[in-house]
Structures are given as structure tokens and as C-alpha cells.
Chain A
Amino acid sequence: MKTIVCIKYVPDTSEAEVKVNPDGKTVDNSRFSYDINDADNYAVEESVLIKEDKGGEVDVVSIGPKKSDVMIRMALAKGCDRAKRIEDERIADHDPLMVAKVLAGAIKSEEFDLIMTGCMANDDGHMSTGVALAEEVGVNHASMVKKVEVLDGKVKAHRELEGGLMEVVELELPAVLTIQTGINEPRYAPIRGIRQAQKKELSVAGLDDLSIDPAEVGAEASQVVLENLYIPEVESAAEFIEGEPEEKAEKLASILVKGGLV
């Protein structure tokens, strides 16, 4: 089995205030810590589990800046074999269709059985790149996958629908699977793996190196324009309980008891 896993380096904004830059088109990411996108982390683990079960190898592909090498080395430390990082400021990365085209251009010369990626990015959340990539490279796909069974020349994918319902589909390989969080338990990189990862191949390429025409993946090519970003007004009717933690707890307890809520 040859698997290509596509990962993204994203800011952790879960407990942080997000500010829009004065250009109105970008977010001030300077204060955030970055790491692998949640769902991509599960995709890395799934690709390594399949390699451990069936043999073969795993390639990592990522579009991102130099500082994301830390994330890529971590994927290599967990058992991926080699990596390619694409960096080129001409890519219209606000449009997942452009991103898919770049990824397709980067892997077009590779033979593969599976491509895996997270089903959704924490930051822009389109849930589109993986399925668009499948069409670009002309193979089968299944999205939001929460269980993978590799069979002879086929794969059974359990897709997570709504309300806990799963849809099982069978795809002929090669195929793209977009992986949902919770499919496995992502491992921590072992110390030995971290040492080995330093020796593994991590190549860096721009659009020209990949023979991708910038005019086909840039802002001109994208058919959507990000006009502006803004912080939505949160209309909260909530009563905010103030004070020291103990006081807050006391007031809340009193509200719950007096209101007959508990």
C-alpha cells in the first residue's frame, strides 16, 4: 500500500481572541500557536496504522511555510516515510479548489493506492479540499470517514452521517478518503522516531518546481473573492455571573436551586 497523506498547519484559536488585520482580508495570526489540523492528525495516524498492517509506505504532502517543518517532522517521526512541502505565495489558498489543484499537481507523478486527508480544516472549514482533490486526480472518494477497512483492491469506508448513523460504502482503489476526527487514537511520536525523522527526506517545492502554472491556481484563476472578514457580533442574552470563582459558584448554585432547576 502506498498512501499519500495531505496535512495542514493551522492556528489554534480555540481559546483565543481572533482579530482581523486592517486589510480586512486576513486574520492576525501572530499570537497563535500553530500545529497540525485536528482531522489531519487522525489521517496521519490512519495512514501509519494501514502501513503497519499491510506494509508499504506513506508520503506526506503539505502546503505551508518553513515553520510548518516542525509539524511535518512530527508526522515523519510517527512513521511516515518522506515528505514534500509546497511553499508559494501565489497560491490562492482562500479557495479550496485552488488548493486541491496544487496538491494534485504535486502528486500527479506518484503512484498511490490511497490519499488521506482530514475532512475539515479548523481554520476555514470548507470541507472541500479532499473531495475536490479526488476529482482533480480522477479517482474515487469518500468523505467524513470514521472507519477504514482495506480489502483486496478495494476499501470499505464508514462515513459518518448525522445522529450517529453510519453509511458504509465500498470503493475501488485508488481512492481519496477524507478522515473524520475520532477514527483512531493518534499516537505520540516515539523518541526513536523523532531521531529517525531528522534523516528522512523533506523536500520543498514551489509552483515552478512542480510545473504548475501559477495562473491556474492564483487569485486570478479562483472564481471566488474573499471580500472581507469581520468579527460577528455575538448577541448574548445570557446573564454573566461575576466575581471570584467561589462567588460565581455560590451565585450559580443559588440560581439553580431557587429556580427549581436542580
Chain B
Amino acid sequence: MGNVLLLAEHRQGALRDITFEMMAIAPKVAEDMGGEVTALLIGSGMDDMAKKLSEYGVKVQVIDDPVFENFNAEKYQKVLSALIDEKKPAVLMTGQTAQGVDFMPALAVEKKLPLVAEAVGLEYVDGTLKATRQMYSGKVSASVAFKPAETYLVTIREGAVEAPEPAAAGSVEKIDSPFKEDITYRKFVEYIEAEVGDVDITQSEILIAVGRGLKEDKNMPLIEELAQGIKADVAGSRAATDAGWIPHDRQVGTSGKTVKPKLYLAMGISGAFQHVAGMKGAKTVVAINKDPEAPIFAVADYAIVDDMFKVVPALQEKLKELKG
């Protein structure tokens, strides 16, 4: 039987979006493989989450034990290793998230099973499971085929597909934890919440975001002047915060903030999916980048392919004229 075991992801009491997004992929694959989807919840005190998951018409199995109160890659690996032996799922699927990347490769090595990381698509064609993934920051797509194996391991990119609406009533069942003794060699210590800065970019009406294309810190005043003129706040991509041009609490993207301004001006940002995931809710997007292939243009409403250092000073000038 070609069952899909889908490991649900949750954090601090709530299911994460990726869990629902996988519901757009798993049922079709399971159907084509002649099996069904089982969603697995590992944690402590998850009745509400289990119910919500079951509304997608799947069988939900719950391992509920205080020992799983916080995510621990080593414990997850032990549980999943035992479940692979016991249930022999055709596919084990989870998200390519800070959680998924922390144990799936190790599990693949331990069980000598194939892994495709960060798939954006998955289909079963003529007896072969095939994944689509991206390389070179989205500039190249790759079709990857699994060789026949007992269980295929795959992680799905966050935000790659839209989560479907709940479908039908499923079921919830508690199962025993195959993991009995606690471990001491890796311990969860604490969560540290994001620092709060002087500007909350999630509330900004107009954002100017800069990326690697800014080149140097000394180019910041150009952006700040433009921002001042149109009452915008300044944010940045990962490259801009890593370089220290922009404070960390103003990073837009999966590891930073999700923003939804009415106007988003992306300057010298290539538009890696991690960044796009954080700004695609913006109402109007203007992108300026000298690379015509930059993925940011796929989400832009207005696009300028040019050197930002030639466009921005002129833009500031013209805005001043028009706005008086």
C-alpha cells in the first residue's frame, strides 16, 4: 500500500501553514500510489490541532507525551525511525523548515533511504515518484526521480503551493510513543523571541526594501532620503541585514517579518523565495533590479530593469516635483 505519512508541524500551540500546504500535495500522491494519508502529530496537549487537521479528511494519529513539549530533532528521528519500520509508509513527507531540515537528512542516512529536500511539486508517474525542486535561487528547476525504495523521504518548500480548504471529516486516534527513554545529549533550553526595534515594519504603509544590490553601507543615505520624501519605512532582505545595513528586526522574509504594506519598493533585491514569502501580501510591488532574470519581477506590478543608483536619485527628484 502506498500510504503517505505526513508529519504535521506546529509551534507554540499552533499548526504552521506548511502543514496545510502539504494537504494540497499529499492526498493526490497517496491516491496515485494506492494508499491514504495519515497525518502525524507529535507533541504535548494537541487536541485542538488534531481536530483541525482531521477536517482535511485524513486519518490523524497523535503521539501525545510531555517529553515532546518542545521540538527535538533527536527525539523526532527516533520516533520516525520506529514508525517507518512499523508502518512502512511509501512516503514520509514534512516541511523544509527549521524543523524538517534538522532531522530529515539524518533520518535518511540512518534508514539508508532516499531524500529529496525542498520539493515544490511531487507526483507519482508510471511507478516512479518524481519531485520538482529549484536550484540557483530559483533560476533553474530540476526534475528529480526517486529510485525504487521502501520509503521515500521528501520535504516540501514553505509557500510553494496554496493550502486547500478543509475537505471532509477525518478521524483522530492516539497512538503509543515508540520513544521511551528521554535523552540528555541534546536538550531544548528556551525560545528567544524576536527583538523589538524602533519601527514595526509589519504595520508600515509604505516600505522601501533593499538587498544585495545596495553594495555598500555608504549607499544607505540615498535610500533613506527617498524614504523620507514619501514617508516610507526602510526594510531589507537577508543579504542586507547580514551585511549590517539594516537592523535584524527589519528583515523581510521567512526567517524575518511578513509584511503587507500598500506599497513595497524592492531595490536591488533578487527575490529569493524566502524573501518573496514575506512580502507577497503587499498591495502594489515595484521592483528595481539590473538583472532582468531576477525572480522578484515575477511578483512585481511595476518593474524597472536598471541600475538602482541611476534610477533612485532621478525618482526622488521627480517625486519632489510632482508632489510639490
Residues A124 and B135 in contact, CB atoms below 8 Å apart = yes
Please tell me which one of the listed residues A168, A238, A250 contacts residue B300 in the complex, with CB atoms under 8 A apart.
A238
Within 8 A of B (CB), among A1-29: 13-18, 20, 27
Number of interface residues of A (CB under 8 A): 83
Number of interface residues of B (CB under 8 A): 104
Q: Tell me how far the C-beta of A249 lies from the nearest C-beta in chain B, rounded to whole angstroms.
A: 3
Give complex CA distance A103, B216 in Å.
Answer: 36
B-contact bits for A80-97, CB 8 A (1 contact / 0 none): 000000000000000011
Residues A223 and B141 in contact, CB atoms below 8 Å apart = no
Q: Given A124-B135, A169-B189, A238-B287, A142–B102 Cβ distance below 8 Å?
A: yes
Q: Given A245-B307, A250-B314, A239–B242 Cβ distance below 8 Å?
A: no
Q: Given A170-B189, A229-B135, A248–B304 Cβ distance below 8 Å?
A: yes
Residues B185 and A140 in contact, CB atoms below 8 Å apart = yes
B-contact bits for A136-159, CB 8 A (1 contact / 0 none): 100011111000000000001011
Q: Which residues on B sit within 8 Å (CB–CB) of A165?
A: 11, 191-194
Q: Given A144-B101, A245-B310, A227–B130 Cβ distance below 8 Å?
A: yes
Please give me the residue from chain B that is nearest to A126 by CB atom.
B117
Please give me the residue from chain A that is nearest to B116 by CB atom.
A224
Give complex CA distance A156, B188 in Å.
Answer: 10
Q: Which residues on A sit within 8 Å (CB–CB) of B98?
A: 143-144, 159-162, 167
Please tell me which one of the listed residues B70, B193, B311 contacts residue A248 in the complex, with CB atoms under 8 A apart.
B311
Give complex CA distance A201, B283 in Å.
Answer: 56
Q: Given A27-B136, A230-B141, A235-B298, A257–B103 Cβ distance below 8 Å?
A: no
Q: Which residues of A contact B (CB under 8 A)?
A: 13-18, 20, 27, 96-97, 100, 119, 122-132, 134-136, 140-144, 156, 158-172, 181-182, 185, 222-232, 234-241, 245-246, 248-250, 252-257, 259, 261-262
Residue pairs across A and B with Cβ atoms less than 8 A apart, 18 shown, are: A27-B136, A96-B115, A127-B101, A131-B105, A131-B106, A163-B258, A164-B194, A167-B192, A168-B190, A169-B186, A170-B187, A172-B185, A182-B242, A222-B147, A230-B143, A232-B139, A248-B314, A249-B317
Not counting A97-B105, A144-B98, A239-B302, a sample of 7 additional A-B residue pairs whose C-beta atoms are within 8 angstroms of each other reads: A96-B105, A144-B101, A162-B16, A165-B192, A167-B190, A229-B141, A232-B134
Q: Which residues of B contact A (CB under 8 A)?
A: 11, 16, 70-74, 96-98, 101-110, 113-118, 130, 134-147, 149, 184-195, 206, 212, 230-232, 238, 241-242, 244, 248-249, 251, 254-258, 262-263, 270, 284, 286-287, 290-295, 297-298, 300-307, 310-312, 314-315, 317-319, 321-323
